[in-house]
Amino acid sequence: MPSALVLIADGTEEMEFTITYDTLVRAGVVVQSAFVPESGGGSETPVSPPAAKGSRGIRILPDLYFETANSGPDKFDAIIIPGGAKGAETLSSSSEVQVLVREYIEKKKLVGMICAGSLAALTSGLPKQPLTSHPSVKSTLESEFDYSEDPVVVSGNLVTSRGPGTAFPFALKLVELLCGPEKRKEVHAPMVFPAGTPW
């Protein structure tokens, strides 16, 4: 059964986190969320993670604290980095997260980034390739990557997307890549998207 780790920090965009997490669970993916503090995580791990305060003030209780030893590509098939300006800054500036991004890419595991979470592609030193992001960080990324304004961009095992409005196609693409196109169809149907929705 596929597994995924969804990172979260104070300031993470709630829709990008919850829609991705929920959609993966619907597909039978074993999902865990890990709280990354502003310091980027570290050796001293408290017993229980605090509730992360999202970009709109909604509090979300993560499953566990982020620890690199328990977050690698030997433990999960995918790592997901949501956006939200403050949350994305915390996640993309974490040296531990950057190391993991490179490890997942090297091990051919999925790396998902949405919205400003795509900044982690830059801070992790990923090579120039197709990528998208929230328009607010386009200027930071477009000279270093083959920037696209498509809702979801797949480049090898890197999957990027644009923002809250593209969270569903982003999550469904992750389901397809982790579980196959038939599982994507199975998950998609009961969500009852309006007729003509392009995903």
Strand partners, 65: 35
Query: How confident is the prediction for the chain on average, in pLDDT?
Result: 95
Residue with the bigger pLDDT between 8 and 39: it is 8
pLDDT at residue 196 tops 50: yes
**Average pLDDT of the residues in 152-169:** 98
**What is this structure's pTM?**
0.94
Q: pLDDT-based confidence at 39, cuts 50/70/90?
A: confident
Point out the residues that are catalytic. Answer: 16, 115, 134
pLDDT at residue 40 tops 50: no
pLDDT tens figures, 129-151: 999 999 999 999 999 999 999 99
